Structure 1
Amino acid sequence: MKKYKLTLIASVIMSATLSQAVTASSHREAPNVTRMPTIDSTDFYSFNSYEAGRGEYVTLIANYIPLQDAYGGPNYFAMDPAATYDIHIDSDGDAVEDITFSFNFSQMLGNDNAGIALMVGPEGEQKSVGVPLKNVGKITADNQGAANFSEKYTVKMTSGPMRTGTTADVTNMDTGGTNFRKPLDYIGTKSFGSAAEYKTYADSFVYSAAIPGCDAPAKVFVGQRKDAFTVNLGKVFDLVNFVPVEGDSARGNGDGEGFPGGITQSSMNDDLADKNVTSIAIEVPKSCLIGEGNGVIGSWTSASLPQARILNPNASFDSTEVNGGAMTQVSRLGSPLVNELVIGLADKDKFSTSHPSNDGQFIDYVTHPTLPELLNILFKDAVNTRLGADLETLAPTNFPRTDLIAAFLTGVEGVNQQSIVTGSEMLRLSTIIPAKPASEQSAFGVAGDDLAGFPNGRRPGDDVVDIALRVVMGALCHDIPVNGVPTNLGFCAPEDASVGNAAFTDGAPSDASMTGTSFPYLAMPLPGSE
């Protein structure tokens, strides 16, 4: 396998914009979107497919509807039929989309949209009464007659800027039409049987798709999945209510010989361990995404709603509201947790509605990030006391933070920097660096000497919380392994980051063994009952 070596960046475009410096998962990230969970983008993944035989494909996954409890009946988690869910690809680096895949959903009741009804009452006085549930019996891949609710969707591809480009339908190659169907959520084992039976059912909703202008077929899936993201969510947002440094001598050793009092790895630290999410996944041939660029693509997801929504005072299943006006972006996500922990509270909704080409307005949040200062305020005295040290600050002192701009904003030359370098918040992925099989992936991505991982795109098993904590606290000022050789990238010096080589962690482990190894990659959802 060809070795790829990081090239030191001699200069960084200082007009660059919002950094992905703190990257984890985006759940309820802005005040406005918390009121609209169906269009809240929780995670976005972009990676070279590592399923055997799919090395010439890129997988893009946009997750929506956060923090789903598996038992969340009777209505569970449907997509918003008034919304448009988009996945954008910038092929050349000008921070403007060159390709957009747009997903629009519609809903139907069972029994030809009349709803399944039961005859109730004694003979001669019976009435046909609609049932309140989304299913009335067991559902299988071969027999879905007991389903009382279904969703279908269309996919359109726009070539060029989303508002002015050329739009065409993505075709369902399995049916010959333009409609695709979404499986019901995993209500429980009585409704669907075992996890293996639900997998057979859900797999029947993975479709081959014809992309306009693309010779090879794509794959498409939309449906409920187990949330792949792991995070110590409650304690992180409670002013980091734990010591965020590895308490073992090495990750998972269980010897307690790391930082005194530091948190250790445990699935009990993952507050999302029992949560599902809704995934929009598409796998596309690389050749159909790279355009005339250098093989590095930028990507992000967004969700939009009509400007006007008038509620129907006499609502019915088919008519709960009237929508009108231009479609308006409400949610946006490239690298996650940017809006939660980088953008100031007053600007969170502004970021959600902004376009990458306008990210310059958020530059101060990047060059002078507040998270390191908050961690310094919370932990400096305790660290000095525990270690008998006299550190002046735990926060990096290299301002502006060129290490963050280079690593997360513009891409790294020789790895994931595009042919045009425009600072903007998106995931950048080199389609040239080959994927690694799941068994060979490092959860620490590039920082773990695995150039196929984050921040070169993002895979489901990349531990982006730990990576982000370390990078924001100055890890790139210290040596990182490059092809097995400790290397300083030249962005800053070790003395600029007094604790930059510490093993920062939230204690919620993540790796590729916790997800799937084939499209759509994320694991089967948890059942509502067993």
Structure 2
Amino acid sequence: MTATSSSGRGPRRLAALTGVALATGTLVASGVTGLEPGTARASSHREAPLISGQPQYDNTDVYAFVSPDKPDTTTIVANVLPFEEPGGGPNFYKFADDAQYDLHIDSDGDAQGDLIYRWTFKDHIKNGNTFLYNTGAVTSLDDPDLNVTQTYDIELLRLKNQRVKHSTKIADDVPVAPSNVGKASMPKYEALRDQAVRKLPGGTTSFAGQADDPFFADLRVFDLLYGGNLTEIGNDTLKGYSVNSLALQVPTAYIRESEKQPIVGIWATTQRKSASGHWSQVSRLGNPLVNEVVLPLKDKDKFNASHPKNDGDFLKSVTEPEVPKLIEGIYKIKAPAEPRNDLVSVFLTGVDKLTKPPKVKPAETLRLNTAIPPTAKPKRLGVLDGDNAGFPNGRRLTDDVLDIALQAVEGELVGTKNDLGDAVNENDQKFGKSFPYLAVPTEGSRGPLAKPATKDAQGNLLSGGASTASSSGSFADDTLIVSAVAAAAGVLLVGLGVGWWRTRRRNSYV
């Protein structure tokens, strides 16, 4: 089903309707158009009522893939704290110090974790008599000018029937990469990020810190599925935002049951400590978009507190998904027949002969077949385009999960061929070629709208480029007047801007 129209904007031109999906029948994520970064929602970002007010505990995305440069290892990335605006100081972004961030691994398909990598964090402040995150230019993670820092521990828990049988601390007081304050504060941020990549016992490597949000999509979907007219698509709404990332690279042999049973299920949870000292699970995430758009409002908080072994409670939302009905109602594209057992295979059991364990118990986990080697030229549509190393076989950073999910929910797996998508096919920043692979976060002092500073003929500081001054001292519409003020021993520069107006029309179509 290829969507077409003579104008490129009609209801059949659904190659633009993206963000509306999930490999389980889902709408994708919401957003607000305009200057970026602005308020938005994305893949399991702010997906449930309770967690939306607790961003430090909110799991946003999970990725799992065979490491392309070390194919005997598996890389797992779990992100939290969505929509980090780059200039959000002076209190920049940190992990919660009253949380347990867990990465769960099910090695045998019984919907129960066999391994848990548990991260906990501690806060450190060198000088409480200043408001500054850093008191000078920071050149290393142990620099005395880095005033606010965090460290983490990792416990490796082995479980049997959901009970801990053995616990080993594999990381102790490891430094976290700081938020990217800006070039004056952190002139070589990439070096700081590299210092936060640490070797652990047993061939494991870890990273914790801020990163560019790797999720990419046009998120104007909640405005009645792009307003019902598809005139604004192709805008990466997550451009310029950051997240806090937890990343592990582990020997594959350690996490899978055996070479004969190489399929693992992976998900992330966050537990928060109450005033009474008890731990409560407040967030859970495996596949992208599930809790946000597959489940109805009445089930969202319940899912966040639940365990995969109880996912039969949510089966109806998968077999009778809401999204195809919404698409049919607005765009008159007929929804595939129910029950949607094709979505059950992607969402709950794994795909037969690819990601389905031999004795699987249906459960919502991100399933990865670790026996499938990485490909030198990944295809963004993964399995749908013949690339079995991609989503829904795990999830790589480059996988276009929105387009994959949209095509699946509209019947790709049951013979209804279509090329639906949102015209956002890749992340705005390139990913790295070695662990942790994530792109570095946007600088706080120069968010996505900033331009290189220039001066006029009189030496007055202007914003980027081609601004001109009139005889009365006013400036052209697309300029920003900046006043630079030195403070805190010349370390802090504050830019104050007025008179910025920018209009933009997006008319790109797939």
What band does the TM-score fall into relative to the shorter chain? 0.7 to 0.9
Q: How does 1:295-314 map to 2 (within 5 A)?
A: 295-306=262-273, 308-309=274-275
Give 1:68 shift.
0.6
Give 1:169 shift.
3.0
Q: How does 1:450-469 map to 2 (within 5 A)?
A: 450-469=387-406
Aligned residue for 1:137?
136
Q: Distance in 2 between matches of 1:451 and 1:512?
A: 24
CA contact (8 A) 2:24 2:321 kept: no
Give 1:167 shift.
3.8
Aligned residue for 1:219?
205
Change in 2 beyond 3 A, CA 1:63/1:503: same
Q: Distance in 2 between matches of 1:329 and 1:407?
A: 25
Give 1:436 shift.
1.6
Aligned residue for 1:420?
359
CA contact (8 A) 1:225 1:278 kept: yes
Q: How does 1:400-415 map to 2 (within 5 A)?
A: 400-415=339-354
Give 1:394 shift.
1.8
Which of 245, 262, 280 is residue 279 of structure 1 equivalent to? 245
CA contact (8 A) 1:443 1:511 kept: no
Give 1:35 shift.
1.1
CA contact (8 A) 1:41 1:65 kept: yes
Q: Which runs of 5+ in 2 are unaligned?
A: 1-21, 29-41, 447-510
CA contact (8 A) 1:444 1:467 kept: yes
CA contact (8 A) 1:91 1:297 kept: yes
Aligned residue for 1:151?
150
Q: How does 1:324-343 map to 2 (within 5 A)?
A: 324-343=276-295
Aligned residue for 1:47?
65
Secondary structure, aligned partner of 1:157: strand
CA contact (8 A) 1:44 1:334 kept: yes
User: Normalising by structure 2, what TM-score?
Assistant: 0.77
Which of 411, 426, 431 is residue 370 of structure 2 equivalent to? 431
Give 1:147 shift.
1.1
Aligned residue for 2:54?
36
Give 1:19 shift.
7.1
Secondary structure, aligned partner of 1:351: helix
Give 1:161 shift.
4.5
Secondary structure, aligned partner of 2:347: helix
Give 1:444 shift.
0.3
Cα RMSD of the aligned pairs, angstroms, is 2.0
Q: Distance in 2 between matches of 1:512 and 1:187?
A: 20
Aligned residue for 1:228?
214
CA contact (8 A) 1:19 1:425 kept: no
> 2:413 aligned with 1:476, yes or no?
yes
Aligned partner letter, 1:32: L
Q: Distance in 2 between matches of 1:142 and 1:274?
A: 24
Aligned residue for 2:186?
192
Give 1:507 shift.
2.2
Change in 2 beyond 3 A, CA 1:223/1:39: same
Aligned residue for 1:27?
45
Q: How does 1:222-301 map to 2 (within 5 A)?
A: 222-233=208-219, 235-241=220-226, 266=234, 269-292=235-258, 294-301=261-268
* 1:176-215 per-position Cα deviation (integer Å, ceiling 9, x unaligned): xx2211021001111011xxx21111110111111xxxxx
Q: Distance in 2 between matches of 1:326 and 1:355?
A: 18
Change in 2 beyond 3 A, CA 1:529/1:104: same
CA contact (8 A) 2:24 2:409 kept: no
Aligned partner letter, 1:270: D
CA contact (8 A) 2:113 2:162 kept: no
Give 1:96 shift.
0.1
* Paired residue total: 410
Secondary structure, aligned partner of 2:185: helix
Q: Distance in 2 between matches of 1:264 and 1:82?
A: 41
* 1:139-194 per-position Cα deviation (integer Å, ceiling 9, x unaligned): 0127611011110110001111485213423434xxxxx2211021001111011x
* 1:369-388 per-position Cα deviation (integer Å, ceiling 9, x unaligned): 011001111111xxxxxxxx
Aligned partner letter, 2:403: D
Aligned residue for 1:344?
296
* 1:402-458 per-position Cα deviation (integer Å, ceiling 9, x unaligned): 111122321122211113211110100000000123xx0000000111000000000
Secondary structure, aligned partner of 2:249: strand
